[in-house]
A and B are shown apart, each in its own frame.
Chain A
Amino acid sequence: AQTVTQSQPEMSVQEAETVTLSCTYDTSESDYYLFWYKQPPSRQMILVIRQEAYKQQNATENRFSVNFQKAAKSFSLKISDSQLGDAAMYFCAYRSLSAANNNDMRFGAGTRLTVKP
């Protein structure tokens, strides 16, 4: 089964600075999706960014961008110009596109990001 590892339980960043959250995964599949979700104190799970494995270009959404290294099975999230509202738990997720794997979705343990004013 696929696994997702977030090795940083907690991270902190100064407001307006840049921070990178790490995520690695293990899979034998060639096509899949990767996601970053944000969970603020409200507990709502909010999609931040997504990346399809077949697309070599790194996804970008405003201040959020990823560094997708398929061979290394790495999918890090970079937050630029950090804002107080970025403080949250961030989850990396892997989604299989294979019916044989029941389109399985796996999550990492999460990284809690603190933003210091």
Chain B
Amino acid sequence: EAQVTQNPRYLITVTGKKLTVTCSQNMNHEYMSWYRQDPGLGLRQIYYSMNVEVTDKGDVPEGYKVSRKEKRNFPLILESPSPNQTSLYFCASSPLRGVPEAFFGQGTRLTVV
């Protein structure tokens, strides 16, 4: 089954404690991205990657890091989380050829206290 797997689904952490949210896709998509969803703001892109070892900032990259060492994986790293990073996070993947439909992970509800 074609899917994007994102873990964990829920996470409560304390300010400053490093965390990683994992994302993996099995569709051989070149393009992967991370979004945060906040009420009234829709989905805003944090980082994206157009292929292995190629990553770039989206609209709200501050406080986040990513890596793309393998085509299927695109983890999101918060080195020192702060309360303003409390949000709903989505990983998505899509092909760069053909219909560029984005496939989403299940979402991660992150709370930073």
Contact = CB atoms under 8 A, between A and B. Distances in A.
Contacts of A93: 102
Given A44-B107, A103-B50, A91 B42 contact: yes
B88 interface: yes
Nearest to A4: B42
Contacts, number: 55
Contact of B42 (A33, A44, A103, A107): A107
Interface residues of B, number: 25
A115 interface: no
Interface string A19-35: 00000000000000101
Given A105-B45, A107-B42, A109-B42, A45 B99 contact: no
Given A33-B100, A45-B90, A50-B99, A103 B40 contact: no
B31 A103 contact: yes
A47 B101 CA distance: 8
A102 interface: yes
A97 interface: yes
B41 interface: yes
Interface residues of A, number: 23
Interface string A77-117: 00000000000000101010100001111011110000000
Contacts of A97: 100
A110 B90 contact: no
Contact of B101 (A50, A91, A108): A50
Cβ-closest 4 pairs across A and B: A45-B104, A107-B43, A109-B42, A107-B42
